[in-house]
Amino acid sequence: MVWIIVIVILAVLVIWAISSYNSFITWKNKVEEAFSTMDVYLKKRYDMIPNLVETVKGYAKHESETLEAVINARNAAASATTMEGKIEAEKGLSGVLGRLFALTESYPDLKANQNFIELQTQIKQMEEEIANSRKYYNGVVKEYNTRCEMFPSSIIASIFNFKKQPMFVVSDETQRENVKVQF
């Protein structure tokens, strides 16, 4: 009788361990899929940035420092290879893009340029898609990280080396500031 109870307990533990492991694999794959989706949108934005810079360059020749900062930030973000590296580089790119758009306020001819208006519209749409994909990514990562930390699934996470994944958060205080709008 005791052997049957021990075998049943062991069977339940094995089934739980297998189920937990499979759940981690599912959520790990969801995290990777969410990041890949966001990465596709980021790549589209990276491809638009040189066109935007070239359009601005024609009007704001003496603003080369800002334009170089945009290109450098774009190249750093595009060449980042790890999830953490991409997240960090993206923060820098978002900051310099904001400076670029603020710079254009000083050039009325540029603001009226049809190519610039079209690029600005495309980038705005892309930013909305990126924001939505970041929300999805953060939601999936939150669920995955919760599973990594909660007992008893944390036991399986530590045994099979499932690590917490980084959230995509705004760390630059300038990105948290209110945008000044003047008419």
Output Rg (C-alpha) for the chain, integer angstroms: 23
pLDDT of 57 reads 76
Q: What is the pLDDT of residues 124-159, one digit of tens each?
A: 899 899 999 999 999 999 999 999 999 999 999 999
CA angle 14, 17, 20 (to 5 degrees): 150
pLDDT of 174 reads 46
Distances (CA, A) of 40 to 12, 21, 33, 43, 131: 42, 29, 11, 5, 13
What is this structure's pTM? 0.76
pLDDT of 171 reads 61
Q: Domain-by-domain residue ranges, the chain? A: 33-167
CA–chain centroid gap for 158, Å, is 26
**Rounded Cα gap, residues 90 and 77, in angstroms:** 6
Architecture of the domain delimited by 33-167: Up-down Bundle (1.20)
pLDDT of 165 reads 94
pLDDT of 176 reads 47
Dmax (CA) of the chain:
89
